[in-house]
């Protein structure tokens, strides 16, 4: 997968879609940065492993709120990137005041707790460690951001329950190189920091998590013998000249692979042999070669014969009574590896690399991916005990928890009307906002200018800030007086930027506008919801505010509100500043 181009993955996805007949494996991806192309890579990797994925991306920068909603998934993957955390509080973290530092730290601690609480019943959660690699100024001194990141990571480890897997992002950066992982071009323009190479490697590294959860981990590893367990060909070179000595230049790599095989047999992995040889030759090596540490005791089944390897591997699976897809096959021969790939694609294959020093490493990478290496059942029980204890401690109602959290943010809204200084930003929001946008009408600056000047229109703009920073102009509402009934006003546009969704801001904002319209002498409001590809989340918004539906034509819903009957929703913790008269 690592060598595939993006278009190749798209093409392969197209071919694979619908070929896997199983219940979709539901994955939610929550992130505070843009992770474009991640979905396609993840889908491809699932399909390669015979899992049909159903991937849903959360709202941009809305991890906490999304984690409360997307709780019934099989897997939740969370990208909580330090880059965007830092960008929101400070352009220069090293000079951040102590108070802000500890505020920010406490905010993140709380968020981590809420996220873990919200997703405690999700089978599997993947959470990335925080990284300070973006700010690597000096390798001898510890910067403030490094200290901060370390504190977060320690907290993460303390709070995680057994369903959470932490991906060590710094290790990933090391594997492929930081410059190959991060592309600041797209970060500055679109908040998309990760390169395609990084995302492919990321998916490869979490493969083991979804294999584990879908019961697709492997059970047995089958080794060829010549040039796989030792250097040389026993049938030609003889006992004296095959090499697996820990003291010899290339023998030591085969020695190490044998050590790994022994280790696996101790961890409950079934180790087998499958070799084209005279059986007696191989038995002699197993029994009498002084450097042979993999012994008959470690090996469950030996297929040493001249039958083709596909038949042998099928026989091994059936004798062990395990699925054919539970096997991993190791061989040096291109021919044998391709034969198996072609005949039994469900079997994972590892070909001994030409550069032999990479061999043990390659085996280990696959071993960690495909096998469960938990020592014994007591270990597994222990984690379960920890998990239950964690759950008891956190029996708090998740809803009240979120309300407390939102209250702690000290959210403040400011609403202004018809302020021409903000025309460009307002026009931009009408053009770009898709998710929280009730009608999705797109307007140019000059149209906005016209609405602001026209007496029959009002253009409201909302600014949002909280104790951690200023989100700026993030909400727009345009209303116009009904041409027939001057006591009625029509909401033409109502939108909010997705980064402030999920904090109940929308209710305070709309209530405030309704109040202002009442002050202007209006008695009734008409509002439409027009469905688009992206705005399903606000389908019932007017309902929730207290409007009544009067019409539904092909999903376009028309609502009405008598202002006199309106009961505003109580959201005490959001403060509203008004510059309206």
Partner 1 sequence: MENTKIKQVMSLVFEVPLESIADHASSDNIENWDSLRHLNLILALEEEFGVSIPDEEVGNLVNYKLIEITINELVK
Residues that bind partner 1 (CB under 8 A): 5-7, 10-11, 14, 34, 36-37, 40, 185-186, 188-190, 192, 196, 432, 434, 533-534
Q: Are strands 220-223 and 164-167 parallel, antiparallel or unpaired?
A: unpaired
Give min distance, CB of 10 to partner 1, in A: 4
Give min distance, CB of 337 to partner 1, in A: 28
Query: Dihedral sign, CA of 82, 88, 91, 93?
Result: negative
**∠ Cα 442 445 449 (to 5°):** 110
Give min distance, CB of 422 to partner 1, in A: 21
Please give the Cα distance from 543 to 141 (Å, whole number).
56
Q: Are strands 556-562 and 548-553 parallel, antiparallel or unpaired?
A: antiparallel
Q: Phi, psi (5° rounding) for residue 62?
A: -140, 40
Give DSSP secondary structure letters for 422-440.
GHHHHHHHHHH--SEESS-
Q: Which is nearer to partner 1, 12 or 166 (CB)?
A: 12
Give DSSP secondary structure letters for 134-192.
GG---SSSPPHHHHHHHHHHHHHHHH--TTEEEE-HHHHHHHH-HHHHB-HHHHHHHS-
Give min distance, CB of 195 to partner 1, in A: 9
Give min distance, CB of 534 to partner 1, in A: 8
**Are 289 and 242 contacting, i.e. CB atoms less than 8 angstroms apart?**
yes
Give min distance, CB of 264 to partner 1, in A: 38
Please give the Cα distance from 368 to 218 (Å, whole number).
11
Q: Which residues contact 3 (CB under 8 A, 6 or more apart)?
A: none
Q: Which is nearer to partner 1, 37 or 408 (CB)?
A: 37
HSE-CB at 419 with a 13 A cutoff on CA atoms is 18
Give min distance, CB of 173 to partner 1, in A: 20
Q: Which is nearer to partner 1, 118 or 437 (CB)?
A: 437
Give min distance, CB of 468 to partner 1, in A: 25
Nearest to 418 by CA among 455, 372, 471: 455
Which letter does DSSP use for residue 98 in this model?
H
Q: Which is nearer to partner 1, 37 or 162 (CB)?
A: 37
Give min distance, CB of 189 to partner 1, in A: 6
Q: Which residues contact 332 (CB under 8 A, 6 or more apart)?
A: 224, 226, 227, 228, 351, 352
**Are 187 and 83 contacting, i.e. CB atoms less than 8 angstroms apart?**
yes
**Are 231 and 250 contacting, i.e. CB atoms less than 8 angstroms apart?**
yes
Q: Which is nearer to partner 1, 392 or 533 (CB)?
A: 533
Nearest to 518 by CA among 560, 555, 492, 489: 489
Q: State how far the alpha carbon of 291 is from the alpha carbons of 248, 251, 297, 299, in Å.
A: 11, 10, 16, 17
Please give the Cα distance from 300 to 320 (Å, whole number).
9
Give min distance, CB of 111 to partner 1, in A: 24
Q: Which is nearer to partner 1, 39 or 515 (CB)?
A: 39
Q: Which is nearer to partner 1, 196 or 463 (CB)?
A: 196
Q: Which is nearer to partner 1, 186 or 401 (CB)?
A: 186
Q: Which is nearer to partner 1, 188 or 396 (CB)?
A: 188
**Are 47 and 20 contacting, i.e. CB atoms less than 8 angstroms apart?**
yes
Q: Which is nearer to partner 1, 11 or 453 (CB)?
A: 11
Q: Which stretches within 93-143 are classed as H helix? A: 98-118
Give the orientation angle of helix 144-159 with respect to helix 82-89, to 10 degrees.
Answer: 120
Give min distance, CB of 45 to partner 1, in A: 17
Q: Which is nearer to partner 1, 76 or 192 (CB)?
A: 192
Give min distance, CB of 301 to partner 1, in A: 45
Q: Which is nearer to partner 1, 208 or 435 (CB)?
A: 435
Q: Which is nearer to partner 1, 381 or 432 (CB)?
A: 432
Nearest to 278 by CA among 236, 317, 338, 320: 236
**Are 303 and 329 contacting, i.e. CB atoms less than 8 angstroms apart?**
no
Q: Which is nearer to partner 1, 112 or 192 (CB)?
A: 192
Give min distance, CB of 436 to partner 1, in A: 15
Give min distance, CB of 100 to partner 1, in A: 31
Query: How many residues does the structure list for the chain?
Result: 581
Please give the Cα distance from 118 to 211 (Å, whole number).
23
Give min distance, CB of 553 to partner 1, in A: 21
Which letter does DSSP use for residue 547 in this model?
-
Nearest to 182 by CA among 290, 388, 321, 34: 34
Q: Which is nearer to partner 1, 455 or 533 (CB)?
A: 533
């Amino acid at each position: 997968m690592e060598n595939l181009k993006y278009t190749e993955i798209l093409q392969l996805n197209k071919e694979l879609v619908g070929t896997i007949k199983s219940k979709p494996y539901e994955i939610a991806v929550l992130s505070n940065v843009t992770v474009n192309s991640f979905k396609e890579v993840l889908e491809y990797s699932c399909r390669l492993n015979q899992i049909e994925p159903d991937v849903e991306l959360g709202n941009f920068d809305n991890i906490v709120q999304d984690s409360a909603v997307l709780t019934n998934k099989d897997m939740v993957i969370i990208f909580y990137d330090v880059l965007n955390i830092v960008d929101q509080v400070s352009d220069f973290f090293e000079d951040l005041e102590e108070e802000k530092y500890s505020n920010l730290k406490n905010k993140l601690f709380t968020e981590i707790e809420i996220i873990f609480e919200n997703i405690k019943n999700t089978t599997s959660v993947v959470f990335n460690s925080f990284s300070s690699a973006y700010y690597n100024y000096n390798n001898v001194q510890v910067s403030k951001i490094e200290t901060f990141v370390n504190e977060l990571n320690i907290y993460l480890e303390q709070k995680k329950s057994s369903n959470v897997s932490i991906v060590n992002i710094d290790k990933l950066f090391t594997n492929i190189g930081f410059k190959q992982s991060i592309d600041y071009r797209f970060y500055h323009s679109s908040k998309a920091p990760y390169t395609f190479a990084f995302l492919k490697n990321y998916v490869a590294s979490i493969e083991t998590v979804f294999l584990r959860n879908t019961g697709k981990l492997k059970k047995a590893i089958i080794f060829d013998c010549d040039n796989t367990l030792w250097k040389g060909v026993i049938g030609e070179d003889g006992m004296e000249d095959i090499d697996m000595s820990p003291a010899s230049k290339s023998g030591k790599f085969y020695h190490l692979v044998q050590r790994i095989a022994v280790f696996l047999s101790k961890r409950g992995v079934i180790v087998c042999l499958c070799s084209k040889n005279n059986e007696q030759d191989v038995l002699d090596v197993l029994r009498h070669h002084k450097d042979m540490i993999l012994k008959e005791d470690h090996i469950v089944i030996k297929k040493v014969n001249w039958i083709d390897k596909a038949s042998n591997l099928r026989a091994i699976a059936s004798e062990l009574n395990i699925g054919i897809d539970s096997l991993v096959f190791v061989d040096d021969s291109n021919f044998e590896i391709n034969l198996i790939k072609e005949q039994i694609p469900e079997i994972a294959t590892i070909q001994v690399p030409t550069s032999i020093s990479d061999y043990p490493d390659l085996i280990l990478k696959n071993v960690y991916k495909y096998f469960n290496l938990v020592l014994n059942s007591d270990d597994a029980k222990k984690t379960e005990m920890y998990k239950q204890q964690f759950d008891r401690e956190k029996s708090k109602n998740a809803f009240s928890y979120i309300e407390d959290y939102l209250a702690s943010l000290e959210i403040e809204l400011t609403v202004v009307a018809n302020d021409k200084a903000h025309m460009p930003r307002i026009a931009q929001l009408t053009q770009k906002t898709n998710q929280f946008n009730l009608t999705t009408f797109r307007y140019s600056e000059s149209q906005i200018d016209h609405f602001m000047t026209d007496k029959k229109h009002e253009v409201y703009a909302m600014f949002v800030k909280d104790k951690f920073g200023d989100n700026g102009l993030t909400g727009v509402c345009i209303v116009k007086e009904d041409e027939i009934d001057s006591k009625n006003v029509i909401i033409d546009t109502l939108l909010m930027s997705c980064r402030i969704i999920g904090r109940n801001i929308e209710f305070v904002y709309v209530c405030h506008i309704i109040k202002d319209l009442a002050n202007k002498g209006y008695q009734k409001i008409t509002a439409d919801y027009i469905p688009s590809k992206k705005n399903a989340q606000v389908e019932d918004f007017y309902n929730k505010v207290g409007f009544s539906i009067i019409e539904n034509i092909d999903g376009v819903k028309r609502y009405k509100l008598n202002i006199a009957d309106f009961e505003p929703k109580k959201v005490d913790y959001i403060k509203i500043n008004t510059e309206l008269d």
